[in-house]
Amino acid sequence: MQLVVPSSKYKESFLEALIEYQKEKPTDRLDIFSLNKKELQGDFQSYIKRIENYSHGENLPLGYVPDTTYWLVDGNEFIGRISIRHTLTKSLLREGGHIGYDIRPSKRKLGYGKKILELALPKAKMLGITKALITCDETNIGSRKIIEANGGVFENSIETSEGKPWKLRYWISL
């Protein structure tokens, strides 16, 4: 099991995971859940290039910051992804944090979440982050345990948009 830069080598497994993700999440966000499988099947390399560009701060959507994405793979199987935001905006400082991750639904509760964050923390440090903010929904007990198992120190909880769970804010010294 290792973190890798996104690659066409994992295309088929990634597309299988995409179907799993989209069965459980709304598609109103600009992220993995809103990707179009048919478009990706036809031009997966453009998606890989977009991820690479974002890590260099190129062609970012409005309001986004540079972020580096890694995929957790086991052999040739895509397990999940983790994104390390290089800097924080006011909004990310409040709710998003430096690091966001997802484990494909069929691989949850198997220790992969803890491992992906563990492997990403040294990479965040290499990007110059000395103290990483990670947030999660108060209702996401699995994510809370992952963050705490990796040294997350609870700072506070904040109210989010009406009708959404509160966000828990944790810091990890790198």
Residue given tokens 């440090």 in the structure block: 125
pTM of the model: 0.88
On whether the CB atoms of residues 64 and 89 are closer than 8 A, the answer is no
Provide the CATH topology of domain 2-173: Aminopeptidase (3.40.630)
CA 27 to chain centre: 16
Lowest mean pLDDT among 30-39, 123-132, 145-154, 163-172: 30-39
Degrees to nearest 5, angle at CA 172 with 62 and 106: 70
CA 75 to chain centre: 20
Confidence of residue 111 (pLDDT cuts 50, 70, 90): very high
Confidence of residue 32 (pLDDT cuts 50, 70, 90): low
Give pLDDT tens digits for 37-63: 566 667 888 889 999 999 999 999 888
Give domain limits for the chain: 2-173
